[in-house]
C-alpha cells in the first residue's frame, strides 16, 4: 500500500510503482508466483474476474534462489492507515483461487455523503447517503449505525435504494447538543451473506455561544406619584439558547426596580434554571415594577 492509500504494488522491498485503487472500495487482489521463472505477478480487480488476464497489472522477478515460500507479507505504508483484509485464499490454480464457491465478494460502499455536510447546528438532523453495489450478486440490505463515541455505534437506521445505486437513510440522525461528535458507519450485506462495513465517519455539532432573547428588548414609562408606589407592572418574555448541560441564569433588576415570575412575590434578583440547551419552560414571563418609596 502506498503512502496515500490509493495504490497497491508488489516486490521484495518497497515498489517503485503502484496499481491505482479507490480507498473505501472493496478490491480483489491476486498474487501469482511462477516457481520456474521466479516471477511474481499482481492482478488487481474492481469486479469479480471470469478468466485469468493475459497480462498482469504488475510483476517482479526474484533474483535469489529458493526452494519454498516461507511467507506472504502484506504491508501498508504506516500504522495510521486502516487496511481491512476480508480473507486470504491459497491455491495452485487460477480456477481454485478465484472459484465462485466461497469466493463471494462483499458489496462496495462508496461516495458517502451527509447532509448538511458541515456547520451542523444543534437544531439540525443529518441524513446520509451512499452508493452501494455488488459485483457478483445483489445488495440485500444497507444499514447506518451511529453513536456518540468512536467504535460504539449502537443506534441503527435502515437505508433504502433511491435513484441508481444510491441508498439513503430512512430517517435522519437526530439533532444533538452543541459540541457533540457523532460517529457513524454504513454496513451492507449481499444475497450470499457477504458483509461490508465502511470506515467510520464523524461530524461535530457546532457549539454556539449561549444567548438570551428578550421580547420586548426594553421597557419604559415607569412612574408613580410621590408616596404612591409601586409603579404599574410591565412584563417581558425571556428565552435562552445554546446552553451546555444544566445550570442557572441570574436575572437582576436595576436599582429602584424589582422583578417577579408570578406578579405576586417580588425580588431584587431571581434565578432561572436551564437544561438541554435552553431555559426550562421557556419563554418565561418576567414582571417588572418600580419599587415603592
* Other Cβ atoms closer than 10 A to 224: 15
pLDDT(70) > 80: no
Closest CA to 157 of 182, 118, 184: 184
- Asked if 157 and 182 count as a contact pair (C-beta separation under 8 A), the reply is no
Residue 54 falls in which region: left (phi positive, over 0), alpha (psi -120 to 50) or beta: alpha
Q: What is the pLDDT of residues 10-46, one digit of tens each?
A: 887 778 888 898 887 888 899 888 888 888 888 998 8
Q: Please, which pLDDT band fits residue 257 given cuts at 50, 70 and 90?
A: very high
**What does DSSP say about strands 181-190 and 28-34: parallel, antiparallel, or unpaired?**
unpaired
State mean pLDDT over 163-185: 95
CA angle 110, 134, 143 (to 5 degrees): 60
Cα–Cα distance measured from residue 116 to residue 278, given in angstroms and rounded to the nearest whole number? 23
Contact of 230 with 256, CB cutoff 8 Å: no
Residue 79 has pLDDT above 80, yes or no: no
Confidence class for position 99, pLDDT limits 50, 70, 90: low
Question: Nearest CA to 128 among 177, 180, 173?
Answer: 173
pLDDT at residue 81 above 80? no
pLDDT at 179 over 90: no
- Other CB atoms within 10 Å distance of the CB of residue 100: 11
Which residues make beta-bridge pairs with 250? Answer: 271
pLDDT in tens, 219-231: 999 999 988 999 9
* Single pTM value for the model: 0.49
CB-based contacts of 84: which residues, under 8 Å, 6+ apart? none
What size, in residues, is the chain? Answer: 293
Q: Does the pLDDT value for residue 159 go beyond 90?
A: yes
Cα separation, 205 vs 74, in Å, equals: 38
Whether residue 213 contacts residue 236, with contact meaning beta carbons closer than 8 Å, is answered with no
* pLDDT above 90 coverage of the chain, percent: 55
CB 182 within 8 A of CB 149: no
Give the dihedral sign, CA 275/277/281/282: positive
Looking at 62-126, which runs of residues are DSSP E strands? 108-115
CB distance 237 to 279 below 8 Å: no
pLDDT of residue 73: 79
User: Is residue 68 scored above 80 in pLDDT?
Assistant: no
Is it the case that residue 233 has pLDDT exceeding 80?
yes
CA dist., res. 155 & res. 183, Å (int): 10
Cα–Cα distance measured from residue 219 to residue 228, given in angstroms and rounded to the nearest whole number? 21
pLDDT category at 82 given cuts 50, 70, 90 is: confident
What pLDDT is recorded for position 101? Answer: 53
Beta bridge partners of 192: none
pLDDT value at residue 102: 52
Positive or negative, the CA dihedral 71, 77, 80, 83 is negative
Return the pLDDT at 100: 55
pLDDT, one tens digit per residue, over 101-123 is 556 788 999 999 999 999 999 88
- Per-residue pLDDT tens for 48-59? 777 888 898 988
Q: What is the DSSP letter of 250?
A: E
pLDDT score, position 103: 61
Q: Which H/E stretch holds residue 61?
A: strand 58-61
The three three-digit cell numbers of residue 167, written as one number: 441508498
Distance CA 11, CA 58 (A): 9
184's enclosing H/E stretch is: strand 181-190
Amino acid at each position: 500500500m502506498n503512502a496515500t492509500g490509493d495504490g497497491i504494488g508488489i516486490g521484495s522491498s518497497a515498489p517503485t510503482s503502484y496499481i491505482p485503487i479507490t480507498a473505501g472500495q472493496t478490491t480483489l487482489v491476486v498474487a501469482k508466483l511462477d516457481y520456474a521463472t521466479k516471477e511474481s505477478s499482481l492482478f488487481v480487480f474492481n469486479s469479480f474476474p471470469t478468466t485469468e488476464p493475459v497480462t498482469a497489472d504488475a510483476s517482479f522477478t526474484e533474483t535469489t534462489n529458493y526452494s519454498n515460500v516461507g511467507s506472504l507479507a502484506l504491508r501498508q505504508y504506516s500504522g495510521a492507515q486502516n487496511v481491512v483484509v476480508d480473507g486470504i485464499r491459497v491455491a495452485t490454480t487460477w480456477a481454485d483461487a478465484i472459484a465462485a464457491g466461497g469466493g463471494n465478494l462483499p458489496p462496495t460502499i462508496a461516495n458517502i455523503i451527509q447532509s448538511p455536510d458541515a456547520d451542523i447546528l444543534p437544531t439540525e438532523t443529518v441524513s446520509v447517503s451512499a452508493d452501494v453495489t455488488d459485483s457478483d450478486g445483489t445488495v440485500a440490505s444497507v444499514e447506518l449505525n451511529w453513536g456518540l463515541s468512536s467504535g460504539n455505534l449502537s443506534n441503527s437506521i435502515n437505508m433504502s435504494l433511491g435513484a441508481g445505486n444510491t441508498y439513503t437513510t430512512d430517517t435522519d440522525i437526530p439533532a444533538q447538543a452543541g459540541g457533540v461528535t457523532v460517529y457513524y458507519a454504513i454496513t451492507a450485506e449481499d444475497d450470499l451473506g457477504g458483509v461490508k462495513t465502511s470506515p467510520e465517519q464523524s461530524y461535530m455539532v457546532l457549539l454556539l455561544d449561549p444567548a438570551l432573547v428578550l421580547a420586548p428588548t426594553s421597557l419604559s414609562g415607569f412612574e408613580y406619584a410621590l408616596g404612591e408606589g409601586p409603579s404599574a407592572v410591565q412584563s417581558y418574555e425571556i428565552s435562552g439558547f445554546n446552553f451546555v448541560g444544566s445550570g442557572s441564569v441570574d436575572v437582576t433588576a436595576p436599582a429602584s426596580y424589582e422583578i417577579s415570575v408570578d406578579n405576586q412575590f417580588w425580588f431584587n434578583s431571581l434565578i432561572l434554571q436551564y437544561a438541554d440547551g435552553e431555559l426550562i419552560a421557556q419563554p418565561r414571563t418576567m414582571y417588572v415594577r418600580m419599587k415603592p418609596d
